[in-house]
Amino acid sequence: MLPATKPYIGEGCVTPYPMRDVIWRTLWSLVQATLFRWSPRPWHRFRVELLRWFGATIPEPDKVVIFPTATVVFPWKLTLHARAMIAPNVRVYNLAPITLHYGANVSQNTHLCAGTHDFLRWDMPLVAQPIVIGENVWIGADVFVGPGVTIGELCVVGARAVVVRDLPPRKICVGHPCRPIKDRALPRYDKS
């Protein structure tokens, strides 16, 4: 039997979030658009404390860098370990948990996107999968990292790459879609 009206994408779509999350996210949006955004650039600790107040897991707040133009959708789904850095204009679209391990560096204009929709259904329900950025990973500028991706330790992701699959540790990866092109040697110390 055919429906009475022609179906459309998003028909019957409802928010998957409880009212508590909707209210908390609204409050966070206000704080992020004012106190967070207007804070002076070197006030990383202040922004970290705002994130922690809204539930982010940041065990060593003095050792994390996050810039005022970065945006985080759900602070309570964000984990930042020591020496992690989120650069200017990074979008942390963490509909599922996003974790940056020790020393992970996410460069400017990157989009960490932990959610998509099931396009095989008319109501397009949310499909959220975590993103894990390994120790000492460097994600170059303007990179897109999709839902469910894990990037292995010491991996380098080249600028403007599109990462839709896991990347192995200790590789240099580039492209659209992103793929490993060569091994990454352990960085050295220069004593100048």
Identify which of 108, 101, 113, 107 has the alpha carbon closest to the alpha carbon of residue 154: 101
Phi, then psi, of 135 in degrees rounded to 5: -60, 135
Q: Is 101 a catalytic residue?
A: yes
CA separation for the pair 19, 25 (Å, rounded): 10
Identify which of 94, 82, 89 has the alpha carbon closest to the alpha carbon of residue 106: 89
CA separation for the pair 137, 133 (Å, rounded): 7
Return the bridge partners of 106, or none.
Answer: 86, 139
Dump strand ranges (E) for 20-120.
65-66, 71-72, 78-80, 85-86, 91-93, 98-100, 105-106, 111-113, 115-117
Nearest-5° Cα angle at 86, 84 to 91? 140
Of residues 44, 81, 101, 117, which has the active-site annotation? 101
Catalytic positions, written as ranges: 101
